[in-house]
Structures are given as C-alpha cells and as structure tokens.
C-alpha cells in the first residue's frame, strides 16, 4: 500500500471518529473497496499510480467520506442513550427527591459512577462513558473546596499547590478524551457551568454555611430539574446523526440551562455572573476543538516526518 493511500485511509479513520467496536470492520471494508477499485483500473490499462489517483478522485475528499461514514454509524441506540444520560438523571433524582444530604445515597451514586466509568474506560471507551467521566471530577472539586476551610495562610499555600495539579489532571483527561472525539470532551464537561452556577447561587463566599444548606433545600427541585434536563439533552444527542446538530444541541442546552439557573435564583446571581457562566459554557464547547486542532497539527507533522525519505537511503 502506497504512502498516499495510507494517509488517505488514516485521515478518514481520524475524521470519522468511529467507536472502537465499529472502526476495524468499517475501515477494513473501505480499504477492500478501494483495493478492488484500484485492481479494476489497473486491469483496464492504467498504471498503479494513475489507478490510485483516479480511485481517490472518484471516492472524494477525506472530509466528505468521513462525514458520510460518521452519519451512517454515529447514531446510538436507545440503550446507549439511556446509559449516557443516566448519571445526569441520577444526580437530578438525588435533588428532586431531596436525598442529596444523605451520605449513604450520595456515596452509592458516586461509587456507581466511579465503577461504571472505570469499566467503560477499560472496555474500549464507548460513547456513553464520557458523560459518566465528567462526574468523577466532583471529588477533585470537593477537595479544592475543603482546602478553603484551612487557616488562611495554609489554605492559600495548599491551593497554590493543589490547583495546578488538578488542572494538569483535567488537561490530561481532556487530551485522552479528545483522542476519541473532541465532542465527547464537551459532553464530559457540560455539567461544569451548571454545577458552577448553582454553587455560586447558594454560596457567595465560596464556603458552605448553614444558610447555604438552607438555600440548597430551597433550590433542590430546580437543581434536580436542571440535571434531568441535561440527561434528556444527552439522550437526544446520542440519537442524532448529524454532527452539526449535536454541536448546536450542546450549545443551546448549556445556554438555556444557565439562563434558567439565573432566572430561578433571581437576586442571587447578577448579570456579570451570568456572562461569566456563559463564558465557562463556551469554554466547555471551544477549548476541546482548539486543543484537538493543536494535537492534530502535531500528528500531521510527525506523520510527514516519518514518511520523508532520508537522503542517501533507498
């Protein structure tokens, strides 16, 4: 197989963003189709180089082929939709039923999320695992909040050490997720502006007080409904085929959820905070694709370097 054909197939493989379970079969079928077409063209009198160029020209650009493959295989089943939305629904029910303040129920949900995430991560990273992965970051956030309760000097020192480590860990997770698809990084981070918004609504000082707990009791039904709304959004996301519709759905859902938080907490979140939450939301949507573009550029340079002939060698 020529370097040109290898690069063509690898570009399609990367852009199609198939699940691991589907990728091998789909790419093998595509490669076999291309090889058969090249064989037909060479038998008709074309040279191998001419046959490859003609075949790839008839196939179309890698972006077009990858999009067609993506739309043919991206739609998840209803089972996948339920699995993907489940962590949002579980957290929503914790607040709707007012079970969030029971350590037992909270521990069960967190352990279930952790176990499910580990299982999915080590079994091919299916699409549904990324929404579960986002909630495994909650303990990391909780530890950062607990550091605020240390004496002022120790708290500042601990935060200066802890947050760079936490951000590095988050960056590594996003990089690993981006290898599958940047859209799943956004899916993973989607609860972030919602959690941030509710936290700011109940705790202006950054610490939980008795008054903060009373506010959580008061807002619990709306907090639960916001997570349930996320779950329904994710279920629709999994059932969609077109990528641009998926992107639009995540952006619209995030904006509407943040708007509802500000509406139901009238007087607690001002306009400045609202725009801050919108910026966080757009960061959730824009940082992963920008990071992916940077990583992809690095991979392209590496690929060209590996395929550049060394002078003096044949």
User: Does residue 119 sit in the same domain as residue 214?
Assistant: yes
Judge if 131 and 214 occupy the same domain.
yes
Residues 55 and 191 placed together within one structural domain of the fold: no
**pLDDT (tens digit per residue) in 236-255:** 999 998 989 999 998 888 88
Is the residue at 313 inside a domain? no
Residue 95, judged by CB atoms within 10 A of its CB (0-12, 13-18, 19+), counts as: buried
Give the pLDDT band of residue 280 (cuts 50, 70, 90): confident
Per the structure, the count of domains in the chain is 2
* Model confidence pLDDT, tens digit, residues 21-35: 788 888 899 999 999
Residues 149 and 117 both lie in one domain:
yes
Do 113 and 51 reside in the same domain of the chain? no
Percent of the chain with pLDDT over 90: 23
Spatial separation of the C-alpha atoms in residues 129 and 112, rounded to whole Å: 12
Considering the domain architecture, whether residues 117 and 235 belong to the same structural domain is answered as yes
H/E stretch holding 282: helix 271-306
> Do residues 34 and 102 both lie within one domain?
no
The pLDDT-based confidence of 313 (bands split at 50, 70, 90) is very low
Q: Which of 185, 195, 197 is nearest to 285 (CA)?
A: 185
Q: Are residues 168 and 281 in the same domain?
A: yes
Q: 133-141: which pairs have CB atoms within 8 A and are 24 or more residues apart?
A: 133/173, 133/177, 133/188, 134/87, 134/187, 134/188, 134/189, 134/190, 134/191, 134/192, 135/87, 135/91, 135/110, 135/191, 137/170, 137/173, 138/110, 138/195, 139/110, 140/166, 140/169, 140/170, 141/195
What end-to-end distance do the CA atoms of the chain give, in Å?
17
The pTM of the full predicted model, rounded to 2 decimals, is 0.81
The boundaries of the domain holding residue 93 are 76-298
Q: Any idea how long the chain is?
A: 314
């Amino acid at each position: 197989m020529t370097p040109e054909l290898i690069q063509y197939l690898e570009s399609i493989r990367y852009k199609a963003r198939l699940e691991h379970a589907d990728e091998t079969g789909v790419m093998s079928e595509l490669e076999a189709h291309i090889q058969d077409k090249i064989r037909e063209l060479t038998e008709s009198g074309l040279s191998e180089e001419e046959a490859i160029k003609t075949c790839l020209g008839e196939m179309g650009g890698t972006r077009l082929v990858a999009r067609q493959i993506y739309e043919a295989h991206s739609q998840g089943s209803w089972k996948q939709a339920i699995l993907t939305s489940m962590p949002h629904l579980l957290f929503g029910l914790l607040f709707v039923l007012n079970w969030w303040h029971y350590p037992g129920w909270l521990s069960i949900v967190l352990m279930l999320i952790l176990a499910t995430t580990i299982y999915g991560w080590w079994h091919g990273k299916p699409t549904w695992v990324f929404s579960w992965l986002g909630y495994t970051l909650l303990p990391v956030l909780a530890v950062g909040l607990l550091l605020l309760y240390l004496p002022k000097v120790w708290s500042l020192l601990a935060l200066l050490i802890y947050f760079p480590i936490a951000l590095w860990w988050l960056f590594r997770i996003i990089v690993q997720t981006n290898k599958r698809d940047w859209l799943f990084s956004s899916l993973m981070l989607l609860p972030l502006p919602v959690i941030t918004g509710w936290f700011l609504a109940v705790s202006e000082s950054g610490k939980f007080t008795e008054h903060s707990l009373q506010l959580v009791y008061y807002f619990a039904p709306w907090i639960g409904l916001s997570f349930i709304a996320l779950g329904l959004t994710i279920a629709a996301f999994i059932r969609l085929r077109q990528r641009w519709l998926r992107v639009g759905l995540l952006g619209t859902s995030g904006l509407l959820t943040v708007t509802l938080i500000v509406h139901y907490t009238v007087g607690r979140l001002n306009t400045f905070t609202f725009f801050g939450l919108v910026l966080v939301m757009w960061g959730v949507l824009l940082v992963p694709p920008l990071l992916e573009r940077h990583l992809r550029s690095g991979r392209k340079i590496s690929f060209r370097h590996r395929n550049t002939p060394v002078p003096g060698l044949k």
